[in-house]
Amino acid sequence: MIDANSQFFAILTNVGMAKQANADALGIPWLITQMGVGDANPSGLADPPNPVPSVSQTKLLNEWRRKPLNQLKIDPVNPAVIIAEQIIPADEGGKWIREIGLYDADGDLVAVANCAPSFKPLLSQGSGRTQIVRMNFIVTSTGNIQLKIDPAIVLASRAYVDAAILEVLPKNKVPGEYTRVKVNDRGIVVSGDNPETLAAMGIKDSYTKVEIEAMIAQASALPVGATVAFPLDKVAPGFLELDGSVKSIAVYPDLAAFLGMAFNKGGEGAGNFRLPESRGEFLRGWDHGRGVDAGRAIGSSQLDALQNITGQYAANNGVQLAATGTVLGAFTATASGGTQLPNGTASSGVINMSFDASRVARTADETRGRNLAVIWCIKAWNAPINQGNIDVAALAALATQATEVKLGTAKVATQTEVDAGVDDTKFVTAKKLLAGFGMTVGQNGFIRLPRWLGGFTIQWGLTTVGSNGDCVITLPTNYNVQHFQILSIAGSITGMAVAYTGLSLSGAVIPHYVPSTAAKAGGGYNCVWISFGK
């Protein structure tokens, strides 16, 4: 927009005027989509002159930002003026704004303007701000300019939002506070409610309260290795019976890490570990320094035993034991072959004494306490809340060695194993597969195969034969192990030069036959060579 009293103005470019005329003549909508800003200082001058917009411009002098428009509208005061607006957020800038350009959907610069120099700081510079850049330009007709903005990219100014709120609020006559409201196509609230369930909110992809409670009931917070007794002939999901059996480390890695090889007896085989044996056993708390059951190692077993029972019988002046009435408890006494005598009188017979605990206690073939038969189990894996659906047998099958025809598991091979190339049970990673590979392609270059292919290397190049007739070669790369052979051909000689062995890893000198002394003295022949090694 040109102001006769101002040095700052906006104009349509030649391209813009042509598109405006075409839109007016054919009635084709013309869509202006983006705004660019620049500092008009491509040379980085300390005090650049203000730019002067030109109708012949096809680009800004030094554009540093181009983004979609935030607003494009007709001036309510002057219908021949189009107002274009862009908002630059606080985290962009650190540059001057001296020139503005508008671009249409074809990417053509259709309008250009200059402006009073304005520095747009960055937020990180301590004075960041959101800045609005606006251009007003005159057109012959606004009828065919499509005033369309993509709502997905619009950044509204605070003033615009405040105005929109003030416009909508008086129309919202629905009272109360709601967790859910319904608005019409103009953004006006027309109804509201307060649903109390997810279903009432229209949320279908969720668990019900009953389902969540059931899942929590099935979940276990016990760590791997915890020992639990079950009073039925069932093992709960996530547990294994402590039956002394051998298990695969691959199938139960967490439990294997917890138990280690503490209960192995030998013969478990590679990749396996053994569970403790608890069948028919009482569990006893480890003494752990208390001194009640001293000398025990954690996890060790102990045979049953009976606390010793002792007694004593004494006689004065001969046998004085009565047959009845004077012996109690587990002891009994009888007289045989004589007469039971009063105290102080010797007996001529034999006194028999016996011990029988069944006279006073329940007896059996073992020493035991009163008990309940249970299955002792150990937490074997941290199952998810649907752990009851885990098929352990299927997991065990997948944990075995994979082959060409069977799913399973396999380890990653080491670099040494990859280079050896003899183990067919381990995988090779891309890094190890390419280890040692090298290549430079050019007039002088090399190709070095990876280590698993032996590191075989081919090198080649072109050099000049010196005046002494020698072809002095510098290898593009060093050999690591051995330089096998190097061959070369001089440009003026038919046939190969002499081949040499026992060469160094970093270079070679090959004498060449030159036809005459004069030619040898002149030098300048090209020498093409090829070398092999690893």
pLDDT digits 0-9 by tens, 396-412: 666 677 777 777 778 88
Q: Does domain 438-533 have CATH number 2.60.40.3940?
A: yes
Looking at residue 329, its pLDDT comes to 64
Give the residue extent of every domain in the chain: 10-163, 309-367, 438-533
Residue whose tokens read 């040109």: 2
- Quickly count: other Cβ atoms within 10 Å of residue 517's Cβ: 9
Residue 63 tokens read as 């554009």
pLDDT digits 0-9 by tens, 126-151: 666 888 999 988 887 766 776 666 66
The list of the chain residues with pLDDT below 70 reads 1-6, 126-128, 142-143, 146-174, 176, 215-220, 309-353, 383-399, 467, 469, 490-503, 510-525
Looking at residue 394, its pLDDT comes to 62
Angstrom distance (rounded) from CA 143 to CA 146 = 8
Looking at residue 487, its pLDDT comes to 86
The model carries a pTM of: 0.34
What residues contact residue 104 under an 8 Å CB cut-off, 6+ apart?
16, 19, 30, 31, 32, 33, 110
Rg (CA), the chain: 49
